[in-house]
Amino acid sequence: MPPAADALIFSEATSSDVFAERMPSGKGDQLPSLMAAVAKHTHELIKEFRPTQDDWRRVIAFLTEVGHASDERRQEWVLLSDLIGASALVEEINSRRPKGATPNTIRGPFFRSDVPERPLGSSISLDGVGEPLCVSARIIDLDGHPIPSAELITWQANAQGLYENQQPDLQPEHNLRGLFRADADGSVNYRTVMPKGYSVPDDGPVGHLLAAAGYPLHRPAHLHFVVRALGFETITTHVYDQNDPHLHEDALFGVKPELVLDFCPVSGDVSQMKQVDFTFVMVRARPEKTK
């Protein structure tokens, strides 16, 4: 059957419009509009850079490699999203908070949901390897009131910049991980070791591509946190060491001024232990809209 008289003919000038015209226009479903937008931006990139057929096959081959590199232990697609700033942008759009509240960052790929609960004041360093660090945190609301029994989950890299689930045969299970419950004053304290900054995984197709492009793959030293309490928005964030030389080129775009702190020596402590103090400011959850 020949095309209708008023149908667009596919050409360089009309390519994305032809694709969009074939999408259904029903209300209440954003998928057709999203797909049309993805196609439009892809077509615009092709028109701007004018790749050859071989160039485009290399793009397809890269995307195929990313899929092959992903399994139950490694998510190369998430790494790609993180490193191009897409994950951080989605987080930024969806977690806007009032001034004074602790900002969100992305969770990163090394989180575990099965973290064990530990008593306040205990150590999460199960092998004791590294420079001692004492962490003190307080969890409050925007009015400065403590949030008793709030849960704080923490995880971090070790003194070599590696997470426990990257070295299951070298680090103890759940090393440098813990869940703590705040006391009546909203306070949490525990002992650990100084984390080391590291490079994001560069042994896969995403790392190879960005390294070849000269993109910095550094992550400055940091601690991860998830803070949650009934009736409040969950905080997922980092705390960064202000003395790390790569602070201004975090590969995952997580560094914010409010999250940069001094990991300083404990005054008068002969063991050379360091300490960091931080206050998490939570926002009350918005009531769900009734349909």
Q: Please give the full DSSP string across 121-143, using - where no structure is assigned.
A: T-B--SS--S-EEEEEEEEEETT
Tell me, yes or no, whether 39 and 146 share the same domain: no
Task: Kindly state whether residue 57 falls inside one of the protein's structural domains.
Answer: no
The reply to whether 39 and 98 lie within a common domain is: no
Task: State whether 272 and 230 are in the same domain.
Answer: yes
pLDDT single digits (tens) 48-82: 999 999 999 999 999 999 999 888 767 899 889 99
CATH for 247: 2.60.130.10
The answer as to whether 33 is a domain residue is yes
Q: Are residues 33 and 87 in the same domain?
A: no
| 139 and 25 within one domain | no
Residue 27 in any domain: the answer is: yes
152 and 34 assigned to the same domain: no
- Work out the average pLDDT over 110-135: 95
pTM (2 d.p.): 0.83
217 lies in some domain = yes
Instruction: Give the DSSP letter of residue 8.
Output: P
Residues 122 and 257 in one domain: yes
Shared domain check, 86 and 27: no
Q: Does 122 score more than 80 pLDDT?
A: yes
On whether both 219 and 97 belong to a single domain, the answer is: yes
Residue 291 scores a pLDDT above 60: no
pLDDT for residue 290: 41
Position 177 in a domain:
yes
Q: For a pLDDT cut of 70, what percent of the chain falls above it? A: 93
Pairing of strands 274-282, 132-141: parallel
Domain presence at residue 192: yes
Q: Is 70 inside a domain boundary? A: no
Residue-level pLDDT at 272: 77
pLDDT above 90: residue 137: yes
What is the distance between the alpha carbons of residues 106 and 194, in angstroms, rounded to a whole number?
Answer: 21
> How many structural domains does the chain have?
2
- Do 84 and 211 lie in one domain? The reply is yes
* Domain hosting residue 127, numbered range: 76-282
Q: How does DSSP assign 51-110, residue by residue?
A: --HHHHHHHHHHHHHHHHT--SS--HHHHHHHHTTHHHHHHHHH----TTSPPP----TT
- Does 173 lie in the same domain as 111? yes
Is pLDDT larger for residue 7 or for residue 218?
218
Chain-wide mean pLDDT for the chain?
Answer: 91
Q: Could you tell me if residue 172 is inside a domain?
A: yes
- How sure is the predictor about 115, in pLDDT bands with cuts at 50, 70 and 90? very high
Same-domain check for residues 40 and 153: no
Q: Which helix (H) or strand (E) holds 224?
A: strand 222-228
